[in-house]
A and B are shown apart, each in its own frame.
Chain A
Amino acid sequence: MRAGQQSRLRLATLIAPGTLLVAAFFGCLGVLFVQSFLPSAGMGRLGDGFTLASYAAFLGDPFYVGYLLRSIAIAVYTTAIVLVLGYVVAYHMTLCGRRMRLAISIVLLVQFFTSFVIRTYAVMLVLGRFGIANRTLQAIGLTDEPLRLLFNEFAVATGIVLTAVPYMVFPIYGSLMAIEPNLRAAAESLGATRRRIFWEVVFPLSLPGVAAAVVIVFLFALTSYIAPGLLGGGYFDMIANLIYDKAVNAQDYPFAAAAAVVSVATTLVLVYLMQKGFRLAIRGTER
């Protein structure tokens, strides 16, 4: 009896923090959901009743829906670019020497643990009016006036790509390292060239890592806030910027909540479809 109680108590203390976190998370989402149906009384105040006005305001205006569509579009293609870059880096890490691998890991980890804002400013050092890119172009005489590389979609995409690479590299590297080395040897002995070993064996078997990394990076890109804020110069705000602006600057909570609910729902659908697609491709590779 006593032992049973004790172990139950211990179990409870182990589970409690996680449960609290999850409960808090869903609690917040619930509040968001409820607020999205309340009328706004202006300047941060909520009215009583039920209305779909905020949804109508968000979904009914192509200008606002544009934020979400634009965010999805940039998330899709930056994820694709990051996938290629990240895969190349991860694959290189499995082939290169121990020192090189360590060096790459350190660079990626330092990047990973550096604050977003600083990483984003670093992008500015490259793309800025007086950045490396413009200086180089001017030095080799390709342009007289500095080009406008910053404060546009290109800059935002570059920022997302550069900051997202570590999220792509490590899961892929993990799944590449998990591939039994004898499988490559087997393929080679059966007559496969390096290229075919990669496409027939290595790549398919790395798909579980790719699937995880792609979802992480897609969500990371879709919810970008700092990159568009700093590198978009106000000309390429994404959905998170809109929601923040509506909630904090305009104090229109119902609208912000409705935009958030629509975005979360859209994201869930997209991630579900992605997972489904990957599950088809991965079939048989689960170990």
Chain B
Amino acid sequence: MMRRGIAAVMAAAALMLAAGTAGAVEINFLTWGGHYLDTYNPMVKDFEKKTGIKVNLVVQAGAKDGLTKITAQRNDPQVDIWGSIQSTAEAAAAAGLLATLKPELLPNLKDVPKGFVTPTSVTVVNSARGIIYRKDLVPFEIKDWKDLWDPRLKNRVGLSYVIDTGSTLVMAALVGGGSEKDIEPGFAKMREMKPNIAGFFNTDPESVKFLENGEFAVIGYAILANFYLKLGPNSNLRFVMPDKPKFLAGIPFTIVKGRGAEREAAAHKFLDYLLSVEAQEFLTGRFGQIPANAKAKLPENLRGAIPEPPLTNVYDVDWGVVNANYAKWKERWDKEIQSR
């Protein structure tokens, strides 16, 4: 009897404690690891100091992995806010996994161009795509996508099909006069490039490592953010953003459906924080990205590496078409391109 009494008192105390802490909302933020974590950690702390909302960072191996996680958690969502890439954000939206954004909770949206906003996502930053290469291992200056087919690059180019959801193939199709809607020229151009291909990589860290140890002299389609910190006047790496077309990947942020009104509001608050001028300049400075907020300044180091905004000739990939054909193309790619 005595024991039961004590237990009841303790349970009551625990309930009160729980109620007390319930005021402090916690949200889960799914994003990439490594340098991204180092970047977001101080921002999350700053945000918590300002709002009292605690943000837990959850790591995805890649945008596709993030999509896999969100999909698997469909019935019991664990993520509140998710930063990924356009193709995965669109796939998640199509699968009905995402909440419709509430512009009234995002005051900073007024400074973001309309093109960066969809009903379920806001592009927070834009990341430049292009060719990155080792100046010491490439005997000429690479300027254009067509240079990837230069015979002097025999056995020197590293590629990946999965990077940006098949964008390498789309680029090849555009070079060959086609597009994602007319992919045949892409496969033809890729077959033509085979003598130049040294190998294929699957993850961002692999591409960095292979360029560093010289296994690849060129990454044929590269994400600037992965190499940004290694660039500079003394670096033997050089990044080119070829014109016609330019590839620019938005980093869309989305809010996951089904986490409750309170968490959803907190997630909006965090998203709005990321769109603030201060956060934008910090974020883009760390990755060499282009801010979405028009009032934020371009990072100093980026001047020269990419053309001055506003960027022209940015290719607008139809992700609906790519997503629908992704698996089929991958099979062909494996059989026709990724084989000797």
CB-based nearest B residue for A229: B202
Shortest CB–CB separation between residue A2 and chain B, in angstroms?
A: 16
Residues of chain A with a CB closer than 8 A to B330's CB: 245, 249-250
Residues of chain B with a CB closer than 8 A to A125's CB: 213
The CA-CA distance from A248 to B67 in the complex, in Å, is: 8
Cβ–Cβ contact A129 & B215, under 8 A:
yes
Residues of chain B with a CB closer than 8 A to A230's CB: 206
Annotate A40-58 by CB proximity to B: 1 below 8 A, 0 otherwise. 0011110000000000000
Q: Does B198 reach chain A (CB closer than 8 Å)?
A: yes
The CA-CA distance from A121 to B208 in the complex, in Å, is: 13
Annotate A219-254 by CB proximity to B: 1 below 8 A, 0 otherwise. 000000000011001110100000001111111100
Shortest CB–CB separation between residue B272 and chain A, in angstroms?
A: 29
Q: Does B75 reach chain A (CB closer than 8 Å)?
A: no
Cβ–Cβ contact B340 & A43, under 8 A:
no
- Interface size counted on chain B using CB atoms at 8 A: 32
Cβ–Cβ contact A233 & B327, under 8 A:
no
Shortest CB–CB separation between residue A151 and chain B, in angstroms?
A: 4
Cβ–Cβ contact B339 & A251, under 8 A:
no
Cβ–Cβ contact B213 & A130, under 8 A:
yes
Residues of chain B with a CB closer than 8 A to A45's CB: 71, 95
The one of A128, A234, A237 in contact with B201, judged by C-beta atoms closer than 8 angstroms, is A234
Q: Does B323 reach chain A (CB closer than 8 Å)?
A: yes
Q: Does A157 reach chain B (CB closer than 8 Å)?
A: no
Shortest CB–CB separation between residue A117 and chain B, in angstroms?
A: 9
Point out which of A63, A230, A233 has the most chain B C-beta atoms below 10 A from its C-beta.
Answer: A233
Q: Does B2 reach chain A (CB closer than 8 Å)?
A: no
The CA-CA distance from A151 to B95 in the complex, in Å, is: 37
The CA-CA distance from A235 to B162 in the complex, in Å, is: 15
Q: Does B18 reach chain A (CB closer than 8 Å)?
A: no
Residues of chain B with a CB closer than 8 A to A43's CB: 91, 94-95, 323
Q: Report if A233-B95 is in contact (Cβ < 8 Å); known contacts: A44-B67, A249-B64.
A: no
Residues of chain A with a CB closer than 8 A to B215's CB: 124, 128-129, 150-151, 233
Q: Does B3 reach chain A (CB closer than 8 Å)?
A: no
Cβ–Cβ contact B323 & A233, under 8 A:
no
Q: Does B338 reach chain A (CB closer than 8 Å)?
A: yes
Cβ–Cβ contact A235 & B91, under 8 A:
no
The CA-CA distance from A152 to B215 in the complex, in Å, is: 13
Q: Does A148 reach chain B (CB closer than 8 Å)?
A: yes
- Interface size counted on chain A using CB atoms at 8 A: 29
Cβ–Cβ contact B340 & A63, under 8 A:
no
Q: Report if A251-B199 is in contact (Cβ < 8 Å); known contacts: A44-B95, A128-B213, A148-B155.
A: no
The CA-CA distance from A63 to B332 in the complex, in Å, is: 11
Annotate B47-72 by CB proximity to A: 1 below 8 A, 0 otherwise. 00000000000000010110110010
Q: Report if A151-B198 is in contact (Cβ < 8 Å); known contacts: A43-B91, A43-B94.
A: yes
Residues of chain B with a CB closer than 8 A to A252's CB: 327
The one of A42, A121, A248 in contact with B64, judged by C-beta atoms closer than 8 angstroms, is A248
Cβ–Cβ contact B200 & A234, under 8 A:
yes
The CA-CA distance from A124 to B214 in the complex, in Å, is: 11
Instruction: List chain B positions with a Cβ less than 8 A from chain A.
Output: 62, 64-65, 67-68, 71, 91, 94-95, 155, 162, 198-202, 206, 209, 213-215, 323-324, 326-327, 330-331, 334-335, 338-340
21 A-B pairs in the complex with CB atoms less than 8 angstroms apart: A42-B327, A121-B209, A124-B215, A128-B214, A128-B215, A148-B155, A151-B198, A151-B199, A151-B215, A233-B201, A234-B200, A234-B202, A234-B338, A235-B340, A245-B330, A248-B64, A249-B64, A249-B326, A251-B64, A251-B67, A251-B71
Top 5 A-B pairs, shortest CB-CB distance: A233-B199, A234-B200, A250-B327, A151-B199, A44-B71
| Extra inter-chain contacts (17) besides given A233-B200, A245-B330, A249-B162, CB under 8 Å | A43-B94, A44-B91, A45-B95, A125-B213, A128-B213, A129-B213, A130-B213, A130-B214, A148-B155, A234-B202, A235-B199, A235-B200, A235-B339, A246-B327, A249-B64, A249-B326, A251-B327
